[in-house]
Amino acid sequence: MALKLQRLQSWQISQKFIPPNRKAPQTTAGGATRGGSCYLEGKESLTALMPLNKSGLTLAERPTFYWFVPQIPEETAHFSLLDGEDIVYETTFKLPKQLGIIGFTLPTKAPSLQVGKNYHWYMSIACGSEEVGEGITVDGWVERIQPTTDLSKQLARTNPKQLSQVYATSGIWYEVLDTLIQQRLTDPGDRTVMANWKALLESVGLNNLVSKPLVNSWNAKTN
C-alpha cells in the first residue's frame, strides 16, 4: 500500500507543467489581461486556460483552445487567430447557457499552423453590444513545434493514460491540457485524472478553475 501511494504521489507531482525555455512573444497590439470583467453579477470572469505568460506550445496543426466562461446572458463569442497583424482565421461560436470550461478546435477549413511561427489569438464576448470591442477579451499565444525524434519515440511507446505526463514535462501546453480534459470526459470519476488535473492547473496559477465543470469541452459549435 505504501509503495502504491508513493507511486501515485510521484505521478501527481509529474503533472506539474514545466515551461519550455523560450522567451514569451512580445505583444505588438493592445490585448486584454488573462481574465476580464463584463460588469456581471458575481466575482467570476472570463479566463483563458493558459500559463502565466499566456504562451503555449503545440504539436497539432489545429489545436484546441480552452476558456472558463462565467454565467452570462450573451450567446456568442468571437475567436480570431493572427500572424503578426494579419488575420489567419476568425469565426464566431455559440456559448453554453451555464458556466464552465469550454473548448474550441480550429476546424479543417482553417489554415494549419506553420511550424516555428507564433500566432496571437483573441477570444471576445460582446457584453450587451453587437460591437466585440465593447465587450471583454482574453488573448494568448500558440506556437507549433516539430517534435524531436526522442519525443516522438517517447510518445509512441507511452501508455495513453500517461501521455499527459510526457506533455507536461516537455512543456507542450496545448496537448497536456487537452489530454487531461479528454480523460476527464471519458472517466469523470477517475481520481488519478482529477489529481493530475488539479496539479496541472495549480502549477500555472489556475487554482480557482480546478473544480469548474466541463461544458461542451470537446468543441464549441461555430456559427
Q: What is the pLDDT of residues 60-102, one digit of tens each?
A: 999 999 999 998 888 899 999 999 999 999 999 999 888 999 9
**Which pTM value belongs to this model?**
0.85
Task: Give the three-class secondary structure for 136.
Answer: strand
Predicted confidence at residue 23, as pLDDT, reads 65
What is the C-alpha radius of gyration for the chain, rounded to an integer number of angstroms? 17
What stretches of the chain adopt beta strand conformation (E)?
A: 47-48, 55-58, 64-69, 76-83, 86-94, 100-105, 118-125, 136-144
pLDDT above 80 for 3: no
Q: pLDDT tens digits for 41-65?
A: 556 899 999 999 999 999 999 999 9
